[in-house]
Chains A and B, each alone.
Chain A
Amino acid sequence: MEANIHGLYEKFNAGDVIVSHEGDMTSGTIDNFLVKAEDSLLSSGENSKKIKKIYNILVEATQNLFHHQATPPGTFLKSIGAAAGEDNYSFCTMVKEDGGIYRITTGNFVSNATAKSLKERIEQLNSLSHDELKSLYKIVLNNDEFTEKGGGGLGFIEMARKSGNKFGYDFVKYNDDYKFFVLEVLVS
C-alpha cells in the first residue's frame, strides 16, 4: 500500500499552526508564505532576533523545495485531485510548540538515489558543532561552485547554523522508485 502523504502533512500541520502550505511550491507561493509567516511572527510580539532566524530558515526551506522537488508519480497527483498544470507536490508548515519552540517541517518527493545522498549529508551536518558548521560554511561559500539548480550548496548548512539544533528527518517509502522526505528544523 502506498504511504498516505496527505495524512503525513496533517500530522505535522496540527496545533498552533503559524503558517502552512501544501501543493505546488512556486515562486508566488513562496512570496505569500513568507509574507504570512513574517506578519504572524511580528504581530505575535516574538523576539526580533528569533524572528530573523526563523525567517532565514523559512527562506532556505521553501527555496529548497522550489529547486529540488522531484515530480511525484502521476498516480499520486491523481489521488490528491491536483489541478491541471500543478505537477509538483511538497509541503511546509511551521507550528509553535510549548516553551516557545518553533517546529518547521517540510516534505517532498525524492528519488531513491537522492534520498541516500541527502541522508548522508544530514547526518554529517548533525555531527558537527557550531564552530565546525561555521568553518564548513566558509569553505563551501568560497569554493566558486554553484549547483546545477543555481544554489550554492549552502542551504542546509545555513539552516543548521541558524537553528542551533539537530535536524530531524525521515524517508518514508512511497513506492519502489520514490521516497517522501520529511525534514524537521527546530528554533528554540
Chain B
Amino acid sequence: MDSINIEGTPKTPTISFDAASGIIEIKGRSIPENSIEFYKPLVDWLDKFSDVATGVVNVNIQLEYFNTSSSKCILDVFKKLENLQNKNRAEVVINWYYEEDDEDMLEAGEDYQSILKIPFNMVEIAE
C-alpha cells in the first residue's frame, strides 16, 4: 500500500502516512479555508489502511494551529482510526503533542479524547 507524504505550507500541515511502519503523522498548521478538500484523500487512505493494518499504529499529531473547519476533519481521521482498532487486531495509540504552556492545545486534545474510545498520550514539548 502506498504511503502519503505531503509537505506542509503556511496553511496546511505536513502529512506522513506510512502503511509499512504504521506511523501516521500530522504536523504544523491546519488553517485552510476548505479543509474537506485537503483531508478527503487522507480519510480515504485510512479506510483502505484499516483492511491491512497490523501490530501497533502510532499516530503523532503535532499541530501549532488548527481552524474549526479542520477540527471536524481531524475528528474524521480519528474516527477512521477508531474503526480500524475495532475491526482488526491493530492497536492504535494517539500521541497528541502540545507546546509547554499551550493549555488551549492540551484542552483541544482532551476534547477529542473525551469523544473517542482510543488511548491518547498527551505529550508536552519544551519550548
In which size bucket is the chain A interface? 20 to 34
For the complex, give the distance between the alpha carbons of A55 and B66 in Å.
10
1/0 per residue, CB under 8 A from A, across B9-28: the answer is 01100000000000000000
A31 to B31, CA, bound (A): 10
B interface, by DSSP: helix, strand, loop or mixed?
A: helix
With A137-B111, A138-B114 already in contact, the answer to whether A49 and B71 are too (CB < 8 A) is no
B67 touches A63 (CB 8 A): yes
B72 close to A (CB within 8 Å): yes
* In the complex, B36 has a CB within 8 A of chain A: yes
Nearest CB on B from A71, distance (A): 18
Interface of A is mostly: helix
Q: Which residues of B contact A35 (CB under 8 A)?
A: 10
Asked whether, in the complex, the Cβ of A59 is within 8 Å of the Cβ of B65, the reply is yes
Within 8 A of B (CB), among A44-62: 48-49, 52-53, 55-56, 59-60
User: What 0/1 readout, one digit per residue, does chain A (9-41) give for beta carbons within 8 Å of chain B?
Assistant: 000000000000000000100110011000000
**Contact yes or no, A152 B101, CB < 8 A:** no
For A52, list chain B residues within 8 Å (CB). 65, 102, 104-105
Q: What is the minimal beta-carbon distance from B116 to any residue of chain A, in angstroms?
A: 9
Asked if A31 contacts B101 (CB within 8 A), the reply is no
CA distance A48 to B105 in the complex (A): 13
Q: Residues of A contacting B11 with CB < 8 Å?
A: 31
Q: B10 and A142: CB pair below 8 A?
A: no
| Residues of chain B from 86 to 127 with CB closer than 8 A to chain A in the complex | 101-105, 107, 111, 114-115, 127
Name the distance in Å between B108's Cβ and chain A's nearest Cβ: 10
List chain A residues, Cβ under 8 A from B33.
27, 30, 63, 66-67, 150
Do the beta carbons of B68 and A138 come within 8 Å of each other? no
State whether B101 touches A49 (Cβ < 8 A): yes
Q: Are A138 and B10 in contact (CB under 8 A)?
A: no
Measured CA separation A55–B107 after assembly (Å):
17
B residues 32-85 near A (Cβ < 8 Å) are: 33-36, 65, 67-69, 71-72, 75
B residues near A60, Cβ cutoff 8 Å: 67-68
Which of A110-118, A154-162, A178-186 is the interface stretch?
A: A154-162
Contact A158 B111 (CB under 8 A): no
Q: Is the CB of A151 within 8 A of B65?
A: no
| Smallest CB-CB A-B distances: 6 pairs | A154-B68, A152-B72, A158-B68, A59-B67, A155-B68, A59-B31
Which residues on B are within 8 Å of A, measured CB to CB? 10-11, 31, 33-36, 65, 67-69, 71-72, 75, 101-105, 107, 111, 114-115, 127
A interface residues (Cβ-Cβ under 8 A, vs B): 27, 30-31, 34-35, 48-49, 52-53, 55-56, 59-60, 63, 66-67, 134, 137-138, 141-142, 146, 150-152, 154-155, 157-158, 162
